[in-house]
Amino acid sequence: MRQGAKTAIVSAIAAAMLGAGGYGAYSLVGSDSKKSAAPAAPKPRTVVAESPSPDLAASGAKAFLAAWTSGDLQGASKLTDDPASALTALTAFQQQVKPSAVTLTPGGPTTPAAFASATAQPAGAAAKPSPSASAGASGSPSPSASAAPASQVLLNFKSHLEFAGTSNTWDYTGYLGMVKMSDGTAAVHWAPTVINPHLGPGQQIVTQPVFNPPTRVTDRNGQSLQNAPSLTQILANFQSNPPAQNPADAGTGVAIVDPAGKTKPQPLFTITDPKPGQPIKLTLDANLQAAAQKAVDEQYAKDPSHKAAAVAIEPSTGNVLAVANAPATGFNMALQGQTAPGSTMKVITASALLEGGIDPNATMPCPSSINTGTVYHNDFTDEEPNNTFMQDFTVSCNTAFIKQSLATLQSGSLNKQASDVFGIGLNWKIGFPSFDGSVPGAGQTKDETAGEYFGQGKDLMDPLTMASVAATVANGTFKQPVLMAGMPQLPAARQLSPDTLTKLRSMMNSVLTNSAGTAYNALQGVSGNIGGKTGTAETSSDPKAPTNSWFTGYRDNLAVSVEVINGGFGAAAAVPAAVEVLKVGNGS
């Protein structure tokens, strides 16, 4: 901050301090000029209703400012109508701000309007209490404070502060309210605004580290993200609320603070200049972001009801590599959506069944329908009595999952599996407001629980959570998604055993590589360690209502999830979109 800006900030502060003092009785030391045999009790000085003459007011102000300039804070405080509060505040200012030199030059008469303008709060600051109470170092009102006397004479003065080790000087206009005392002298009506016009009761002036704002927000490779429309809100969030910066880059500034922490610090002046701002580097990848945006835009372009969202995650770290929405503006469906995930939920259910002792090669009949209070069907009509668990997962048989899960899993076990292994519902802090999934706990009806085993009922997810599910399988351990490397990441309670992981990965691979798999056709030509699961989520009791299309999967160290509203079968919309991102790969 350069001198012009500093002066402008400071001048706005000066007016708040005048109004806080006391019009009434104040116990100030005085003496009786007459000698007597016994010492007379000190005669109290009080503020009188009469205004001091211009000359008397100017003389009192000059004496106060001279004492403060010389460092005689006790002498200066005795020239106010509240010496105790004045001494506390002046001492705190000297100790906390630490100016190497203070020069206070008397000015002339001013007006209440000028004072009010100088003490006006900046935009966004908390409303300042009426200048009717004097304050000590902490800004707390003096017990004897009262409303500012109407008879006070307003004067201004020039404040010039110097600091060791810098040529930056702090210059601002201060204000004094001069009142007449019962002994015929003029005194400064004490208020926080005497220290600085912006200082109010309950506030302090301190020195603290200051930083230049970050120059820009980039991807993990330093590439610009400004042309990524889905990231506008995310970039603005990091720009306006930058993470902790390197202390070595800090300068020193003077600010008004609220000790209770209810309001943000109000900068007043920069003592030593901070180093130039550095860019904020996010975990995002500009190339993957562009691919994800293109993929969801293509789905949305087919039909304006096909809102789409995609998230890409690096399984080994939890770093979020892409966040795309179509339309790009408005609600962030990728990070904050709350819809049923359909059969992508079977990844979590299958992991629980595997841990429950069901082998992928075990027979798991796939009836054409099952009645749990609601009649559930598959997306195909054939009944397969000799299917294995692996085959049911590959072709996405809802009825087999319902029947086996009701027999094997306990009430609430799906919720526990989702939380303990996949980190669902742990209140993630990714660097931007997000939804981290919800799976109902114990106490659901049999019918409700049946639907939740294949991603219906009250299961709620978004592409962020489902991308994380695929990432957890690929990595073997849950890594909470984050948008900036080094952010705190909540751990899951446990991880799947190596045997369970191997079986689950094999089942997810079958969805993409087995000719009967629901995503087989779209994944042709995609090499590497791959696995995935499609989902077709019903959003209405009307069997003719359109369904949402889902996919979650991984390729090596890249996990992707896509949701297309009203997109139909998972393989119809979400899979092709996800493949566009998976083909780019994670080049880190």
Taking only the tens place, the pLDDT of each residue in 488-521 is: 999 999 999 999 999 999 999 999 999 999 999 8
Using alpha carbons, select from 214, 207, 224, 218 the residue that is nearest to residue 276: 214
**What are 446's two structure tokens?**
């049999």
**Candidate from 222-231, 237-246, 361-370, 490-499 with smallest mean pLDDT:** 237-246
* Separation of alpha carbons 119 and 113, rounded Å: 10
**What are 29's two structure tokens?**
């030391």
Asked if 266 contacts 255 with a C-beta cutoff of 8 angstroms, the reply is yes
* Separation of alpha carbons 256 and 203, rounded Å: 7
Using alpha carbons, select from 72, 52, 194, 182 the residue that is nearest to residue 133: 194
- pLDDT bracket for residue 213 (50, 70, 90): confident
CA 486 to chain centre: 16
- Which structural domains are found in the chain, ordered by start? 3-28+45-119+135-204 (3.10.450), 217-273 (no CATH), 286-584 (3.40.710.10)
| Predicted pLDDT of residue 367 | 94
Q: Kindly state the DSSP code that residue 526 receives in the 8-state scheme.
A: -
- pLDDT bracket for residue 544 (50, 70, 90): confident
More confident residue, 127 or 311: 311
Q: Give first-to-last CA distance, the chain, whole Å.
A: 39
- pLDDT bracket for residue 149 (50, 70, 90): confident
Q: Assign residue 457 a region: left if phi > 0, alpha if psi is -120 to 50, beta otherwise? A: left
Q: Which residues lie below 8 Å from residue 83, measured CB to CB, with a gap of 6+? A: 28, 77
Tell me the HSE value of 328 on the side-chain side, using a 13 A CA sphere: 19
Asked if 532 contacts 507 with a C-beta cutoff of 8 angstroms, the reply is no
Asked if 280 contacts 484 with a C-beta cutoff of 8 angstroms, the reply is yes
Query: To which residue do tokens 């991984």 refer?
Result: 554
- Average pLDDT over all residues of the chain: 88
**Candidate from 211-215, 300-304, 314-318, 496-500 with smallest mean pLDDT:** 211-215
Using alpha carbons, select from 450, 465, 462 the residue that is nearest to residue 418: 465
Query: Looking at the predicted structure, is the pLDDT value of residue 4 above 60?
Result: no
* Separation of alpha carbons 399 and 330, rounded Å: 37
Report the DSSP beta bridge partners of residue 159.
104, 172
| Predicted pLDDT of residue 128 | 36
pLDDT tens for 113-145 read 999 888 765 433 333 333 333 333 333 333 333
| Predicted pLDDT of residue 246 | 84
pTM of the model: 0.73
- Residue 66 burial class via C-beta count within 10 angstroms: exposed 0-12, middle 13-18, buried 19 and up: middle
| Predicted pLDDT of residue 261 | 84
Query: Looking at the predicted structure, is the pLDDT value of residue 178 above 70?
Result: yes
More confident residue, 412 or 587: 412
- pLDDT bracket for residue 379 (50, 70, 90): confident
| Predicted pLDDT of residue 532 | 98
Q: Which residues lie below 8 Å from residue 141, measured CB to CB, with a gap of 6+? A: 20, 133, 134, 135, 201
Asked if 115 contacts 15 with a C-beta cutoff of 8 angstroms, the reply is yes
* Separation of alpha carbons 131 and 346, rounded Å: 65
| Predicted pLDDT of residue 380 | 76
pLDDT tens for 266-286 read 999 999 999 998 899 999 999
Backbone dihedral angles phi then psi of residue 388, each to the nearest 5 degrees: -95, 170
| Predicted pLDDT of residue 494 | 98
Asked if 394 contacts 507 with a C-beta cutoff of 8 angstroms, the reply is yes
- pLDDT bracket for residue 558 (50, 70, 90): very high
| Predicted pLDDT of residue 3 | 40
| Predicted pLDDT of residue 41 | 66
Question: For the chain, what percent of residues have pLDDT higher than 90?
Answer: 77
Arithmetic mean of pLDDT, 538-558? 92
Using alpha carbons, select from 88, 324, 98, 62 the residue that is nearest to residue 190: 88
Question: For the chain, what percent of residues have pLDDT higher than 70?
Answer: 88
Q: What angle do CA 94, 134, 205 make, to 5 degrees?
A: 35
| Predicted pLDDT of residue 38 | 58
Q: What is the dihedral of CA 471, 476, 481, 485, to 10 degrees?
A: -120
pLDDT tens for 52-103 read 999 999 999 999 999 999 999 999 999 999 999 999 999 999 999 999 999 9
Arithmetic mean of pLDDT, 405-409? 96
- pLDDT bracket for residue 245 (50, 70, 90): confident
Query: Looking at the predicted structure, is the pLDDT value of residue 569 above 90?
Result: yes
| Predicted pLDDT of residue 28 | 27
| Predicted pLDDT of residue 139 | 38
Count the Cβ atoms, other than its own, within 10 Å of residue 365: 16
- pLDDT bracket for residue 39 (50, 70, 90): low
Asked if 500 contacts 474 with a C-beta cutoff of 8 angstroms, the reply is no
- pLDDT bracket for residue 21 (50, 70, 90): very low
**What are 24's two structure tokens?**
């009434």
Q: Which residues lie below 8 Å from residue 216, measured CB to CB, with a gap of 6+? A: 224, 226, 239, 279, 280
Report the DSSP beta bridge partners of residue 533.
552
Count the Cβ atoms, other than its own, within 10 Å of residue 486: 9
pLDDT tens for 249-258 read 999 999 999 9
Query: Looking at the predicted structure, is the pLDDT value of residue 14 above 50?
Result: no
Query: Looking at the predicted structure, is the pLDDT value of residue 299 above 50?
Result: yes
Give the three-class secondary structure for 190: coil
